[in-house]
Each structure stands twice: as C-alpha cells, then as structure tokens.
Amino acid sequence: MKKEIILASNSPRRIDLLKHMGVDFKVVSPNVEEEGNGEKRSPVEVVKKNAIMKVQKVAEDYRNAIIIGADTVVVIDGEIIGKPTNEKDARRILRKLRGRYHFVFSGVAVMETPEDKVLVSVVRSKVKMRDYSEEEIERYIATGEPMDKAGAYGIQGKGALLVRKNRR
C-alpha cells in the first residue's frame, strides 16, 4: 500500500514549497503548543523538539504515511524569538532586529509510520536587516504578514525588503 505524504503545517510557504516540488500531499494542522519564545536554551533543540512534536501529533491519526513537520525561530542577543503575539510585539521585534545581524534556525522532521522512524535536520542562516524606518515598520505590519512569522518577518515575502543580506 502506497504511503500518504502529509505536511504537518498550515504554513503557506511550506505548502508552496511542496507544490513547487510536484509532491502529492495532504495538509494536516498539528495543533501543538510550540516552545521557544523568550527561551534561553539551544535554538537547535527548540526547533528540533517543535518539528518532532508536530509529526508525532499528526502520526496519531495517520498510520501509513510519511509526515513532514518544521519549525523556525529567530535568535538575537541569545533570545529565541518566535511569532509575535500581537502588532505591538511585532513592532518591538522589528525594532530589535533593525540594522543588525541575527540567526534564523529552521528544523525539519520527517516521520514514516507505522515504523515511527524520525529523521531531523536543522539549518542556521545569518541575516542582516536594513536600517529601515518606523514608517516602513508600520507599513509592513499593516500587511499582516509579520503576524505568523518567527522574528515578525518573512524573507520569502514582503519582509525581504527589510533584509540587507542573507547567508548560511
């Protein structure tokens, strides 16, 4: 019996990525409480744990599948920054990142059921933000894009205009 491929995420970016790869898959929201915001522990461990929690949660209902889960956090000054809680928080985060380097950690977990084998990988990128204005912050927040993004910006979207350079 062929295994179903399931993306344990509602992320439009991750959905688009799999679509562009020509993968036939189903989207299932994992409904887990992510860890990370304000944590002082290893960002590698945070994104690994969150990605694994997502695939394990979805695996409870799909016993013949390949399940893909992912998580991303931003780290600056040793602080792990996840998604903003509201517009005020997004403003605070974008001000903190302005004109500075920070790191983005992305973890991906892939589980095959019913064997429950899990493979996990983490990538770290170094990103430098432009010295953008308060007006640019307000315009960007008004798009709504920062609200579901770690670090309050998405480099794949309008947030790319806030970035000066990106490297691994």
Neighbour-count burial of 73, counting CB atoms closer than 10 A to its CB (0-12 exposed, 13-18 middle, 19+ buried): buried
Structure tokens given for 118? 């899990």
Given 71, 77, 89, 116, which residue is catalytic? Answer: 71
Q: What 3-state class would DSSP assign to 134?
A: helix
Pairing outcome for strands 65-76 and 26-27: unpaired
Is 71 tagged catalytic?
A: yes
Q: Are 114 and 160 in contact (CB under 8 A)?
A: no
Q: Across the chain, which distance is largest between two alpha carbons, in Å?
A: 56
Question: Catalytic site residues?
Answer: 71
